[in-house]
Amino acid sequence: MSKIQQYLFAIVLLVTSQSALLSASVLQDAIDKAPEGSILKLPAGVYKGNIVINKPITIVGKEAGVVIDGEGSGTVITAKGSFITLKNLKIVGSGDRHEKLDAAIKMMEGSQCEISNCDIKDCLFGIDMQMMKNSIVADNNITSKKDFELGLRGDGLRLWYSNDNIVRHNHLYKSRDMVVWYSHGNEIIDNRGEYCRYSLHFMYAGKNLVKNNHYQYNSVGIFFMYSQDTTAEGNVIKSSQGATGMGIGLKDVSNFRIINNTVLYNAQGLYIDRSPFEPDTHNWIEGNQIIYNAEAMHFHSLSENNIIKNNSILGNIEDIVNDSRGSKTNKNEIAGNYWDKYEGFDVNGDNIGDTPHKVYQYADQLWVYNRDVKFFYASPVISLLNFLAKLAPFTKPLFLMEDREPKVKIEHTRMKG
């Protein structure tokens, strides 16, 4: 049989939509007997899971109602190798063993694979990609085991030592995290994450593109750690939950471009910790809308040489918070931002303030160093104390930063969210 004939070879499993759970041998036997390159077109029905794929093959649900059920044990589909496609399937009922990474789909050691249009429910981990490259994960809906506490749910989507993949149009809902660890050159575009812990978490990853994603009602929107050379552009991160809910976090990262994102309704808009990390490097934070957060930008530890330009910063309770005396926030290049708290004028009408916008931290702001006080944050009493501290500070305030050329009018005409 030629390669073309093998690819076009189709096996149709004849079952009815009312059939009971089929024995494992039906689907597994079809996979084992199919030549490489075959297409298995599954009619509606419930198929027993824990199947193993180790050859180039396509499994596609040819109609709605194709369910592969792991019956609460192990990983539902384990695939190893290249040129494997899983499409139009509903995958349910993985096991709950974290040490075994029980998942809906575990795909490993291959390239040119695809997982698309799959509906994943009641699985500990959703899609686990290990040492995969040049593959596509697109248009999937992923939900974890809802009865588990958030921290005990598995990750909805996990890239581990996986490079140059496209992750597009997926929706993660009430899973734990989407993680990109030790993985480079991936494109993560137009995804949604809701009611998760970390909607997107990077660690030891480089040259990734994170674009036009929408994350809301998570504990943390996007958190970058120990990474470099990555762009986050056009994302919407809103309503990160809890007293420390975070929009975008940067920890020990270098050569990052955080541009044209909308970050709103979070406890902390941007969290910057020892970034940039590598000597003689920068991070570019430009063109973002950082609005209606408790804290617009929170600096922790030494964080200098960030270039912070042309952002709109308005409606936040605090614009700059420095919880560490060594953060050196004044060593960042800050210019051309719009600050709604700017009190200067623009006599010549060039939309640049005639005087710099300076931000100070007052010793009276107890909540910066005492997290327990944050329970009263933005209450009328704290707001009054804050006003009095600025009106007549008891001690000399700490200079945090200045914008040399503050914008007087907002230049952004479009708000995402």
What pLDDT score was predicted for residue 396? 65
Number of domains in the chain: 2
Same domain, 156 and 205: no
Cα end-to-end distance, the chain, whole Å: 54
| H or E segment to which residue 4 belongs | helix 3-8
As given in the structure block, the two tokens for residue 324 are: 């560490």
φ, ψ dihedrals at 246, nearest 5°: -120, 140
Same domain, 170 and 285: no
Same domain, 71 and 219: no
* Nearest-angstrom CA–CA distance, 115 and 11: 20
* Nearest-angstrom CA–CA distance, 105 and 69: 12
Same domain, 155 and 27: yes
Same domain, 87 and 223: no
Q: Which of 297, 217, 204 is nearest to 258 (CA)?
A: 297
Tell me the chain's radius of gyration from C-alpha atoms.
25
Q: Which of 354, 368, 373, 262 is nearest to 314 (CA)?
A: 262
Q: CA angle at residue 17 from 25 to 90, to 5 degrees?
A: 70
Domain that holds residue 258: 197-362+397-417
Residue 11 scores a pLDDT above 80: no
Same domain, 89 and 201: no
Strands 398-403 and 357-361: antiparallel
pTM, entire model: 0.87
Q: Is residue 326 part of a domain?
A: yes
Same domain, 172 and 247: no
Provide the CA 167 distance to its chain's centre, in angstroms.
Answer: 11
For residue range 218-273, what is the model confidence (pLDDT) as tens digits? 999 999 999 999 999 999 999 998 877 999 999 999 999 999 999 999 999 999 99
Q: Please, which pLDDT band fits residue 412 given cuts at 50, 70 and 90? A: low
For residue range 278-310, what is the model confidence (pLDDT) as tens digits? 999 999 999 999 999 999 999 988 888 999 999
As given in the structure block, the two tokens for residue 190 are: 């137009």
